[in-house]
């Protein structure tokens, strides 16, 4: 009995020191964010929001996607309900759970569907870059309006 | 020390096993302490190192995922070589990035990526890690696909895979430091354990040692030895039991000694009281002896019987008184320079036995002793040999080292084995049927006591050629006590 005690102690001590090899272990979500292009949300003939992929070669940032949305002309089958504006710079302030967008528009430049277009395009880019699907979006217009304070969700993305 | 052929196997273990209580307590304490400290150190060092490894692994994985995630939105998809190079630069370190048959690699160790990890990256579509050991160094391999996320959150693999290899030697050194400090702490506990063990052993061993000393004194004859019981533990109980045992032994020894003393005094008193009437009786018998010739035949026979028995009785009483004196320790030694050979011849001549006994005695052996008592011893031994043995009876005086030996042998049947231990007992009769012998039955006992009085000894046995052999050995230089 006494003879195996030192061996047990040595085994214990050895097991305690050094970095041991391991099996494959999970390390969390994989990084994401690659995409063949930007997804813009436009309105079809039945006044429904529709996603459309613009092949820009990369996903880009939220301001880039919104700039593309503000400058997109109305097409034959899909159109935009945002009034054309020469300034397309949108600033994005991410806070906890809410994306604050400052758009160069007044409340009169957009229809409710137009606001949804902005919300969905921003949230889509956010999700594609790895963001949370349940993030709210606050669209702030250049002139003071109660609409600026609403935290919105995109019906196409969040509802699912 | 054994001197037989070297027998291996069990002996070294027996020698290694600690014998004393102190050593055993010490070993037990130290073993318990070392095991406890080692277990505690092992457990704390183990959990600390696990935490260290886990947090390091997590930091590396999260850092990599963060750096990759920051650059992917700007990355061309499907990627070209330039895009892969940018990804690899963003990941940093020893990284390989693949997309279908495109590949971008930098740094060392990128060939260490195990196949299991590649398979897991492809099947799980998540970031995975694996620790491996290569070239006796620990490595962390992080593998991850880059996924495409649809706007609705669905993730699909993009085909881009990133494998990054990180050296964990620094972590291992930190763990080594932890283990070393744990070992040092355990080692520091050792002297403390030894000290505690010595204290505990002392508290246990002190009563044991006192008890041992008491037992030793008891065995040495000091029946009054006791050890005071301390406390109320098992050792105290043992001490009380030993004390009780000593008490009862002392009581019975005292009773026995008193009885022995009483018996001896009784014998002494009896013989003393018998002396006066005996001297009267002797005088009467002397008168009877002188007038015996004028008696009738059967009356003369009775008278002669009375004379013989009276002489026997006188000798018996004298012997009894001598024994009583020897027992009481009042016997006096009158020591003078005596020529042993001469004394032996004088003794035999005085009893008219010189012609029946062969004396082998070199001249010039002289000794300081009591001539009368030597005479008693030799007369008793020779008388015994003539009475019970067969001639020739031989007395041999010799020197043996520091002793002078007087040997008395005969050629008779010798002493039976069951008799030898009792030859010197008082009134012992070797043959129960032969109850009436001319001796008093005290001769050999008196001879032995006389030998002891000289500081010598008297032994009985059988000679090699058959026949009894009594050896009186007297020391040449007697320490006067």
What pLDDT is stored for residue B4 in this prediction? 43
pLDDT tens column, B36-59:
888 887 888 888 888 999 999 999
Per DSSP, B87 falls in state: H
Percent of chain B, pLDDT > 70?
Answer: 93
User: Taking Cα atoms as reference points, which of A122, A93, A95, A91 lies closest to residue A104?
Assistant: A91
What pLDDT is stored for residue B329 in this prediction? 78
Per-residue pLDDT at B434 exceeds 60: no
What pLDDT is stored for residue B324 in this prediction? 83
Contact B50, A18 (CB under 8 A): no
Given phi > 0 = left and psi -120 to 50 = alpha, else beta, which region is B222? beta
Interior angle at CA B11, CA B6 and CA B16, nearest 5: 140
Compare all CA atoms of chain B with the CA of A13 and give the residue at the minimum distance. Answer: B42
pLDDT tens column, A93-111:
988 889 999 999 999 999 9
What pLDDT is stored for residue B5 in this prediction? 45
Contact at CB, A17 and B76, closer than 8 angstroms:
no
Band (pLDDT 50/70/90 cuts) for residue B479 is low
- Give the whole-angstrom CA distance, residue A105 versus residue A92: 14
What pLDDT is stored for residue A19 in this prediction? 79
- Give the whole-angstrom CA distance, residue B259 versus residue A41: 130
Residue positions counted in chain A: 160
Per-residue pLDDT at B62 exceeds 90: yes
Rounded mean pLDDT of B346-355? 86
What pLDDT is stored for residue B14 in this prediction? 47
The phi and psi torsions of A150 (rounded to 5 degrees) equal -75, 135
Contact at CB, A27 and B45, closer than 8 angstroms:
no
Instruction: Look at B109 and B403; give whichever has higher pLDDT.
Output: B403
Q: Chain A window 37-56: which residues touch B at a Cβ cutoff of 8 Å? A: 39, 51
Compare all CA atoms of chain B with the CA of A123 and give the residue at the minimum distance. Answer: B151
For residues B207-235, one letter each, b for 16 or more C-beta atoms within 10 angstroms of the residue's C-beta and e for the rest, the string is beebbeebeebbeeeebebbbebeeeeeb
Instruction: Give the minimum alpha-carbon distance from B86 to chain A in angstroms, rounded to a whole number.
Output: 13
In this complex, the residue of B38, B57, B127 whose CB is nearest that of residue A30 is B127
Percent of chain B, pLDDT > 90?
Answer: 20
Contact at CB, A127 and B151, closer than 8 angstroms:
yes
Per-residue pLDDT at B141 exceeds 90: yes
Beta bridge partners of B305: none
In a mutagenesis test of the A interface, which of B122, B151, B157 is the best target, namely the one with the most A β-carbons within 10 Å? B151
What pLDDT is stored for residue B391 in this prediction? 78
Instruction: Extract the tokens encoding B138.
Output: 């620990």
What pLDDT is stored for residue B1 in this prediction? 41
What pLDDT is stored for residue B332 in this prediction? 81
Per-residue pLDDT at B478 exceeds 80: no
In a mutagenesis test of the A interface, which of B43, B73, B114 is the best target, namely the one with the most A β-carbons within 10 Å? B73
What pLDDT is stored for residue B159 in this prediction? 92
Band (pLDDT 50/70/90 cuts) for residue B219 is confident
Task: For residue A159, list chain B residues with Cβ-Cβ distance below 8 A.
Answer: none
Instruction: Extract the tokens encoding B372.
Output: 């009368």
Rounded mean pLDDT of B147-156? 89
- Give the whole-angstrom CA distance, residue B159 versus residue B2: 82
- State CA B223 to chain mean position distance: 24
Per DSSP, A21 falls in state: P
Per-residue pLDDT at B85 exceeds 90: yes
What pLDDT is stored for residue A107 in this prediction? 92
Per-residue pLDDT at B8 exceeds 50: no
User: Taking Cα atoms as reference points, which of B353, B430, B440 lies closest to residue B394?
Assistant: B353
- Give the whole-angstrom CA distance, residue A6 versus residue A9: 5
For every residue of A66-90, DSSP letters joined together read HHHHHTPPP-SS-B--B---S----
pLDDT tens column, B248-269:
989 999 999 999 889 888 888 8
For residues A130-143, one letter each, b for 16 or more C-beta atoms within 10 angstroms of the residue's C-beta and e for the rest, the string is bbebebbbbbbbee
What pLDDT is stored for residue B176 in this prediction? 86
Contact at CB, B131 and A28, closer than 8 angstroms:
no
Instruction: Give the minimum alpha-carbon distance from B9 to chain A in angstroms, rounded to a whole number.
Output: 14
Q: What is the ipTM metric for this complex? A: 0.84
Instruction: Give the minimum alpha-carbon distance from B28 to chain A in angstroms, rounded to a whole number.
Output: 12
Band (pLDDT 50/70/90 cuts) for residue B7 is very low
Per-residue pLDDT at B481 exceeds 50: no
Contact at CB, A19 and B53, closer than 8 angstroms:
yes
Rounded mean pLDDT of B379-393? 85
Per-residue pLDDT at B10 exceeds 50: no
pLDDT tens column, B104-135:
998 887 788 899 999 999 999 999 999 998 88
In this complex, the residue of A5, A21, A24 whose CB is nearest that of residue B128 is A24
Contact at CB, A18 and B176, closer than 8 angstroms:
yes
Average pLDDT, chain B: 85
Task: For residue B63, list chain A residues with Cβ-Cβ distance below 8 A.
Answer: none
Which residues in chain A show pLDDT less than 70?
A: 1-17, 76, 159-160
Interface contact A27, partner B, CB < 8 A: yes
């Amino acid at each position: 009995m006494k003879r195996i005690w030192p061996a047990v102690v040595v085994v214990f001590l050895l097991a305690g020191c050094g970095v041991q090899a391991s099996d494959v272990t999970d390390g969390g979500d994989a990084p994401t964010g690659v995409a063949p292009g930007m997804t813009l949300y436009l309105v079809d003939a039945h006044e429904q929001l529709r996603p459309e992929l613009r092949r820009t070669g990369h996903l880009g940032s939220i301001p880039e996607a919104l700039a593309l949305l503000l400058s997109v002309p109305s097409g034959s089958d899909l159109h935009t309900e945002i009034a054309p504006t020469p300034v397309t710079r949108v600033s994005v302030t991410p806070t906890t759970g809410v994306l604050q967008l400052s758009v160069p528009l007044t409340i009169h430049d957009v229809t409710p569907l137009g606001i949804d277009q902005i919300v969905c395009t921003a949230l889509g880019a956010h999700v594609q870059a790895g963001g949370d699907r349940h993030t709210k979006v606050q669209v702030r217009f250049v002139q003071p309006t109660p609409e600026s304070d609403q935290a919105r969700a995109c019906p196409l993305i969040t509802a699912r | 020390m054994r001197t037989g052929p070297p027998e291996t196997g069990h002996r070294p273990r027996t020698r290694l096993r600690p014998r004393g209580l102190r050593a055993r307590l010490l070993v037990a304490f130290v073993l318990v302490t070392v095991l406890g400290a080692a277990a505690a150190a092992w457990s704390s060092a183990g959990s600390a190192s696990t935490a260290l490894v886990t947090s390091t692994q997590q930091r590396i994985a999260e850092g990599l995922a963060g750096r990759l995630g920051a650059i992917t939105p700007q990355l061309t998809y499907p990627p070209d070589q330039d895009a892969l190079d940018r990804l690899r630069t963003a990941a940093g370190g020893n990284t390989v990035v693949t997309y279908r048959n495109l590949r971008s690699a930098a740094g060392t160790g990128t060939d260490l990526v195990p196949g299991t990890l590649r398979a897991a990256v492809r099947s799980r579509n998540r970031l995975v890690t694996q620790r491996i050991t290569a070239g006796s160094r620990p490595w962390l391999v992080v593998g991850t696909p880059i996924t495409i996320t649809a706007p609705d959150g669905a993730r699909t693999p993009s085909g881009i895979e990133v494998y990054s290899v990180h050296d964990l030697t620094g972590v291992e050194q930190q763990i080594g430091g932890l283990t070393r400090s744990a070992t040092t702490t355990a080692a520091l506990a050792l002297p403390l354990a030894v000290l505690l063990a010595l204290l505990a052993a002392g508290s246990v061993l002190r009563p044991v040692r006192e008890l041992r000393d008491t037992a030793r004194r008891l065995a040495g004859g000091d029946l009054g030895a006791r050890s005071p019981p301390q406390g109320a533990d098992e050792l105290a109980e043992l001490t009380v039991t030993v004390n009780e045992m000593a008490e009862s032994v002392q009581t019975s020894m005292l009773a026995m000694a008193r009885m022995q003393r009483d018996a001896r005094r009784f014998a002494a008193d009896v013989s003393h009281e018998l002396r006066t009437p005996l001297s009267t009786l002797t005088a009467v018998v002397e008168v009877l002896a002188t007038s015996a010739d004028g008696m009738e035949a059967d009356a003369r026979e009775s008278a002669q019987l009375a004379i013989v028995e009276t002489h026997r009785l006188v000798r018996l009483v004298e012997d009894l008184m001598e024994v009583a004196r020897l027992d009481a320790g009042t016997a006096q030694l009158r020591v003078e320079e005596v020529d042993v050979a001469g004394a032996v011849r004088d003794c035999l001549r005085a009893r008219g036995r010189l012609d029946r006994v062969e004396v082998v005695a070199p001249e010039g052996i002289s000794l300081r002793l009591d001539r009368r008592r030597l005479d008693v011893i030799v007369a008793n031994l020779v008388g015994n040999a003539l009475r019970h043995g067969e001639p020739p009876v031989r007395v041999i005086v010799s020197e043996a080292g520091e002793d002078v030996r007087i040997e008395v042998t005969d050629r008779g049947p010798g002493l039976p084995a069951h008799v030898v231990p009792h030859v010197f007992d008082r009134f012992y009769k070797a043959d129960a049927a032969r109850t009436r012998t001319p001796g008093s039955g005290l001769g050999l006992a008196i001879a032995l006591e006389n030998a002891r009085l000289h500081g010598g000894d008297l032994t009985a046995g059988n000679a090699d050629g058959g026949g009894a052999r009594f050896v009186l050995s007297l020391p040449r230089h007697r320490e006067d006590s």
